[in-house]
Chain A
Amino acid sequence: SVEGDAIKVYVRVRPPSEGTALTDGDQGLCLSVLSSHTIRLHSKPEPKIFTFDCVANMETTQESVFSSVAKNIVESCMNGYNGTIFAYGQTGSGKTFTMMGPSDSDNFTHSLRGVIPRSFEYLFFLIEREKEKAGSGKSFLCKCSFIEIYNEQIFDLLDSASAGLFLREHIKKGVFVDGAVEQVLSSAAEAYQVLTMGWRNRRVASTSMNRESSRSHAVFTITVESMEKNNEIVNIRSSLLNLVDLAGSERQKDTHTEGLRLKEAGNINRSLSCLGQVITALVDVGNGKQRHICYRDSKLTFLLRDSLGGNAKTCIIANVHPGSRCFGETLSTLNFAQRAKLIKNKAVVNEDTQGNVS
């Protein structure tokens, strides 16, 4: 089937936290889910209707989120495409619940486990099935890395001793984090173990180094490499699956989502460091002329460049909290998700034929 390559946007509404529903009543909700594609935000004076690829209401199960968001992406990953799943939303809107599952359990078999553990299960299920089908002719190699971006610095969550890694590009392999630990995976349970270990590092870091997890982006990357021998020709395919837990959207004041605020000059000793960004914005207006922008995008957008308007299948899960107190954040999350839909992706199979082996 020829499906579009646009980024899929999935909106999930979490149930209001216990207690708030009782006190606020129905009037306390700032939105209503109209259908599986539309959502209405009770804005004044006119309510605003948003349309997405899928809207999940409060009753939606973890299983159904997984099926409609991740299943397809994991499948294409097996076929040599890169795939990315983002979770976006305000802190407390259910990102971690959606991606990981209930926070108090490391239990891989929990019935409420999230998209990530389910993706692991499915990925390894598919690998096993492929292996059985193809016999000894086909082999797989899975590796993973887990990094955190905080304050425009990259930390390796699988090696808590390291700090300050750098992004580099390889002409064959694309963008990668130089020096990040890569762990070989042989099963879903192992993948989950690595993930929870890294996740714990993230939390440890949040107390010892004085930062909180919601201010950082976490990127878990699985590389799936398949090797197939066919009439003495070795066919290697590789693809990436990125699972991204973005910082709470309310913390992203310095990204494009920002409104009209002026950047402050700060205290006496600081120079006017944002001037460059102001000028860059001016140059952006310049039409089709040759230019080179010195101030590049953030580390995150660089790392995920292929996923945003590049060369991958990408899905964004926008998590929102329905409470009326969250109206502003919810509106900005939905606006972000709306914009994301406009980004077009083009996926291409990577077939690297490496001549004769005999």
Chain B
Amino acid sequence: MAAGGSGWAAVCEKFRTARTLSVVESRKDPETEPYRSKYSARALLQEVKQLLSAAEEGGEAQLLAVRRAVLEYELGVNHTDTDELSAGEEHLQRCTQLLEPHRLSPDCVSLYIQAQNNLGILWSERDEIKTAQTYLESAEALYNRYMKEDGNPPLDPSEHFMAEEEKLTDQERSKRFEKAYTHTLYYLAQVYQHLEMTEKAAQYCHTTLKRQLEYCGYYPVEWALNAATLSLYYLSKQCFMEARHCLAAANVIFSQAGQVPSAEDNETEQDQQDLRKRKAEIARCWIKYCLNLLQSARKLLEDNIGELDPDRQLELKAQRKKEEDEKEKGRKKAVLFGTSDICDSVLAMEEKVSSVYPLDFQEAREIFLVGQNYVQEAKEFFQVDGYVTDHIEIVQDHSALFKVLAFFEEDYERRCKMHKRRIDMLEPLYGVLNPQYYLLISRQLQFELADTYYEMMDLKVAIGNRLEELDSHTVKKINSLAQLAIKYYELFLDSLRNPHKVFPEKLEEHVLRPAMVAKFHIARLYGKLITSDSKKQLENMQTSLEYYTFLVDYCEKYPDAVRDVETELELSKEMVGLLPTRMERLRAKLCPFI
């Protein structure tokens, strides 16, 4: 292989200098001359190319072709790096042409794949993602074919300009080759995402993450965060087993991060802070996992009035028994992260929480508790002082966890207590929140508080209905809960008013439904207020009627609104028909002599 003694050594030296200029020195270039080192590197590469042409006679054809291809590759990358796409494309094309006949040989395969990766990037920069796709997919195919037919660690492109004694070990060769292929997959993930092939893109993201782990090409924190984010994709597809796997792996890999001591001590505090934040972010993904799992289970189990359907519960339990064995098989097919020891830790992590739908209170509670633990963990970092939005979002999730757990609780009194817990966590926050800066969250809190009081009132009514007679304590409780619900709905509606306190003629799209629901609920609440004073009762009915009428009139004026509030509108219409007669009857009772 030694082509021409000392002359060859000089060529190699030039090539190496060019590489260093391009990769290391160029990062220090001044802003005014951003490409200075790249241009110097380019000049050197051109020289090397000249020297190679001179040596053309006599050399071995394939060897020469490959060396020239390496230079074309380097020149191609150099030109694209310096915003000269067309020239870059020419060089890269020439590189692949030179390699075409030998692309499956261990000398060429890695270079060929990298050239195609770069052509992929180049075409995406021209906004031609389909063309980029063809290059990257062909790189992928070549890798697969090579691994099937040969599989030995191929030469790294840089080795073509190295002296024999400097050549890389097989292990290093394999590492670099796999890295180039990982890049192919990473680019493909982006291509598929741009082409809106979501599922495929997710799959390639997953594989990229997996390969990063296998070949140790990752920063633990970043990897963990990426895996946690991927879990959210699986959540949106209701794939809880995959989501849990991603999160468990995120936890395991994240724990490696703290063990690596930071090089610069002066940055440690900042690093620690950052680390704590990332940990809290992952905890928040876990909260979403628990919440989604519980909420999906609730959807499966609820009847048409939103209560737990016991028949459905039995049916699902039977079904689950049957499926359990098959699940085990399915799991083996999923792409799992990590090699032996990491894999064991991930599995251990997974065992701490179920990934199947909870079907009764006990099962729901276990998931709830896991979620609640992560709420505490997330709140440790995202404290209200400094992280208002994040903190409140976490508390809202906590409240949502209680809400869905309450669905599984059969005892009404205990259920009511769970809702009270929600009030206790939300109300103090709402009290201090400044709507000038947090209008949206403020509205969300108003609405959620109103809804919670509304739900509690409903429960108290249900409890009351079981009693022989409504005692004064229960009546008082029902009325006060109803009043509080009304208060928060009104606060929400007030937040929609303009600075001159006028309620908008036409509601904006994003508040239409909540505003209408608020009006509807207030109407119902006035209907539920209990009083022995008939005059007062008449007044409440009148108010109730006004709110129902608002809904009916609004929908008449803006028919677009109808599809958002179909059920509510139907009931309102009914009430607008009924209430006046009822009120008439009540009035007649009040003044029997007229």
Q: 0/1 per residue, B237-253, Cβ < 8 Å to A?
A: 10000000000000000
When distances are taken between beta carbons in the complex, the residues of chain A under 8 Å from B385 are 170-171
When distances are taken between beta carbons in the complex, the residues of chain B under 8 Å from A271 are 212, 217-219, 222-223
Is B275 positioned at the interface, with any CB of A under 8 Å from its CB? no
* Segment at the interface with B among A138-146, A184-192, A274-282: A274-282
User: For chain B residues 537-580, which have a beta carbon within 8 Å of chain A?
Assistant: none
Known: A174-B434, A348-B495. Contact between A279 and B281, CB under 8 A?
no
Asked if B232 and A262 sit within 8 Å, CB to CB, the answer is no
Asked if A347 and B183 sit within 8 Å, CB to CB, the answer is no
Asked if B226 and A174 sit within 8 Å, CB to CB, the answer is no
Is A210 positioned at the interface, with any CB of B under 8 Å from its CB? yes
Asked if B212 and A262 sit within 8 Å, CB to CB, the answer is no
Q: Taking each of B291, B436, B440, B500, which has the highest tally of chain A beta carbons within 10 Å of its own beta carbon? A: B436
Asked if B205 and A278 sit within 8 Å, CB to CB, the answer is yes
User: For chain B residues 422-467, which have a beta carbon within 8 Å of chain A?
Assistant: 429, 432-440
Which of A274, A279, A290, A348 is close to B230, meaning CB atoms less than 8 Å apart?
A279
Cα A263 to Cα B229 in complex, Å, equals 18
Asked if B125 and A261 sit within 8 Å, CB to CB, the answer is yes
When distances are taken between beta carbons in the complex, the residues of chain B under 8 Å from A175 are 437
Asked if B193 and A281 sit within 8 Å, CB to CB, the answer is yes
Known: A275-B209, A281-B193, A283-B232. Contact between A262 and B187, CB under 8 A?
yes
Asked if A278 and B436 sit within 8 Å, CB to CB, the answer is no
Is B406 positioned at the interface, with any CB of A under 8 Å from its CB? no
When distances are taken between beta carbons in the complex, the residues of chain B under 8 Å from A285 are 198, 236
Which of chain A's residues has its CB closest to B509's CB? A344
User: For chain B residues 282-300, which have a beta carbon within 8 Å of chain A?
Assistant: 282, 284-285, 287-288, 291-292, 295
When distances are taken between beta carbons in the complex, the residues of chain B under 8 Å from A289 are 235-236, 292
Q: 0/1 per residue, B286-319, Cβ < 8 Å to A?
A: 0110011001000000000000000000000000
Interface size bucket, B side? Answer: 35 or more
* Segment at the interface with B among A48-56, A63-71, A100-108, A291-299: A291-299
Is B386 positioned at the interface, with any CB of A under 8 Å from its CB? yes
Asked if B389 and A275 sit within 8 Å, CB to CB, the answer is no
Known: A2-B498, A263-B190, A306-B437. Contact between A290 and B288, CB under 8 A?
yes
CB distance from A103 to the nearest CB of B (A): 20
Asked if B285 and A212 sit within 8 Å, CB to CB, the answer is no
When distances are taken between beta carbons in the complex, the residues of chain A under 8 Å from B291 are 290
Asked if B388 and A350 sit within 8 Å, CB to CB, the answer is no
CB distance from B194 to the nearest CB of A (A): 5
Asked if B190 and A278 sit within 8 Å, CB to CB, the answer is yes
CB distance from B243 to the nearest CB of A (A): 11
When distances are taken between beta carbons in the complex, the residues of chain A under 8 Å from B336 are none
Asked if A291 and B217 sit within 8 Å, CB to CB, the answer is no
Known: A175-B437, A290-B288. Contact between A261 and B124, CB under 8 A?
yes
Asked if A171 and B236 sit within 8 Å, CB to CB, the answer is no
Asked if B124 and A278 sit within 8 Å, CB to CB, the answer is no
When distances are taken between beta carbons in the complex, the residues of chain B under 8 Å from A42 are none
Cα A2 to Cα B393 in complex, Å, equals 32
Asked if B205 and A291 sit within 8 Å, CB to CB, the answer is no
Is A135 positioned at the interface, with any CB of B under 8 Å from its CB? no
Q: Taking each of B225, B236, B287, B433, which has the highest tally of chain A beta carbons within 10 Å of its own beta carbon? A: B236
When distances are taken between beta carbons in the complex, the residues of chain A under 8 Å from B384 are 171
When distances are taken between beta carbons in the complex, the residues of chain A under 8 Å from B433 are 171
When distances are taken between beta carbons in the complex, the residues of chain A under 8 Å from B288 are 290-292
Is A234 positioned at the interface, with any CB of B under 8 Å from its CB? no
CB distance from A216 to the nearest CB of B (A): 13
Q: 0/1 per residue, A168-187, Cβ < 8 Å to B?
A: 11111111001000000000
CB distance from A2 to the nearest CB of B (A): 6
Cα A57 to Cα B64 in complex, Å, equals 62
Asked if B232 and A291 sit within 8 Å, CB to CB, the answer is yes
When distances are taken between beta carbons in the complex, the residues of chain A under 8 Å from B190 are 262-263, 274, 278
Cα A121 to Cα B498 in complex, Å, equals 29
When distances are taken between beta carbons in the complex, the residues of chain A under 8 Å from B120 are 262
Which of A275, A291, A293 is close to B189, meaning CB atoms less than 8 Å apart?
A275
Asked if A310 and B440 sit within 8 Å, CB to CB, the answer is yes
Which of B186, B198, B218, B223 is close to A265, meaning CB atoms less than 8 Å apart?
B186
Is B23 positioned at the interface, with any CB of A under 8 Å from its CB? yes
Asked if B236 and A170 sit within 8 Å, CB to CB, the answer is no
Which of chain B's residues has its CB closest to A265's CB? B183
Asked if A169 and B389 sit within 8 Å, CB to CB, the answer is yes
Known: A174-B438, A262-B190. Contact between A283 and B387, CB under 8 A?
no
Asked if A292 and B284 sit within 8 Å, CB to CB, the answer is yes
Cα A157 to Cα B449 in complex, Å, equals 43
CB distance from B86 to the nearest CB of A (A): 17
Is B155 positioned at the interface, with any CB of A under 8 Å from its CB? no
Which of chain B's residues has its CB closest to A79's CB? B499
Is B208 positioned at the interface, with any CB of A under 8 Å from its CB? yes
Which of A260, A292, A311, A350 is close to B129, meaning CB atoms less than 8 Å apart?
A260
When distances are taken between beta carbons in the complex, the residues of chain A under 8 Å from B229 are 276, 279-280, 283, 293-295
When distances are taken between beta carbons in the complex, the residues of chain A under 8 Å from B439 are 310-311, 346, 348
Known: A293-B229, A294-B285. Contact between A260 and B222, CB under 8 A?
no
When distances are taken between beta carbons in the complex, the residues of chain B under 8 Å from A347 are 499
When distances are taken between beta carbons in the complex, the residues of chain A under 8 Å from B124 are 260-262
Asked if B189 and A311 sit within 8 Å, CB to CB, the answer is no
Which of chain B's residues has its CB closest to A262's CB? B124
CB distance from B217 to the nearest CB of A (A): 6
CB distance from A8 to the nearest CB of B (A): 17
When distances are taken between beta carbons in the complex, the residues of chain A under 8 Å from B223 are 271
Asked if B194 and A260 sit within 8 Å, CB to CB, the answer is yes
Which of A170, A211, A278 is close to B201, meaning CB atoms less than 8 Å apart?
A278
Cα A80 to Cα B499 in complex, Å, equals 10
Which of chain B's residues has its CB closest to A295's CB? B229
When distances are taken between beta carbons in the complex, the residues of chain A under 8 Å from B217 are 271
CB distance from A32 to the nearest CB of B (A): 27
Asked if A344 and B508 sit within 8 Å, CB to CB, the answer is yes
Is B586 positioned at the interface, with any CB of A under 8 Å from its CB? no
Q: Taking each of B127, B434, B435, B500, which has the highest tally of chain A beta carbons within 10 Å of its own beta carbon? A: B434
Q: 0/1 per residue, B134-147, Cβ < 8 Å to A?
A: 00000000000000
CB distance from B69 to the nearest CB of A (A): 20
Asked if B233 and A286 sit within 8 Å, CB to CB, the answer is yes
Is A259 positioned at the interface, with any CB of B under 8 Å from its CB? yes
Which of chain B's residues has its CB closest to A215's CB? B31
Asked if A282 and B233 sit within 8 Å, CB to CB, the answer is yes
Asked if A294 and B236 sit within 8 Å, CB to CB, the answer is no
Which of chain B's residues has its CB closest to A288's CB? B236
Which of chain B's residues has its CB closest to A286's CB? B236
Q: 0/1 per residue, B349-360, Cβ < 8 Å to A?
A: 000000000000
Cα A352 to Cα B46 in complex, Å, equals 72
Cα A170 to Cα B230 in complex, Å, equals 31
Which of chain A's residues has its CB closest to B238's CB? A289
CB distance from A52 to the nearest CB of B (A): 21
Which of chain A's residues has its CB closest to B495's CB? A348
Q: List 12 A-B contacts (CB under 8 A).
A: A171-B384, A174-B388, A262-B132, A262-B191, A272-B182, A279-B205, A280-B229, A282-B201, A286-B236, A291-B288, A292-B288, A348-B436
Q: Which 5 A-B pairs have the closest CB atoms?
A: A286-B236, A174-B437, A350-B436, A169-B388, A262-B124
Q: A168-B387, A272-B183, A311-B437 are in contact. List 19 more A-B contacts (CB 8 A).
A: A82-B436, A169-B386, A171-B384, A171-B432, A172-B434, A174-B436, A212-B31, A260-B124, A261-B124, A261-B127, A267-B23, A271-B217, A271-B223, A272-B212, A275-B226, A276-B225, A283-B236, A290-B397, A352-B434
Interface residues, chain A, with chain B CB atoms under 8 Å away: 2, 79-80, 82, 168-175, 178, 210-212, 239, 259-265, 267-268, 271-276, 278-283, 285-287, 289-295, 306, 310-311, 344, 346-350, 352
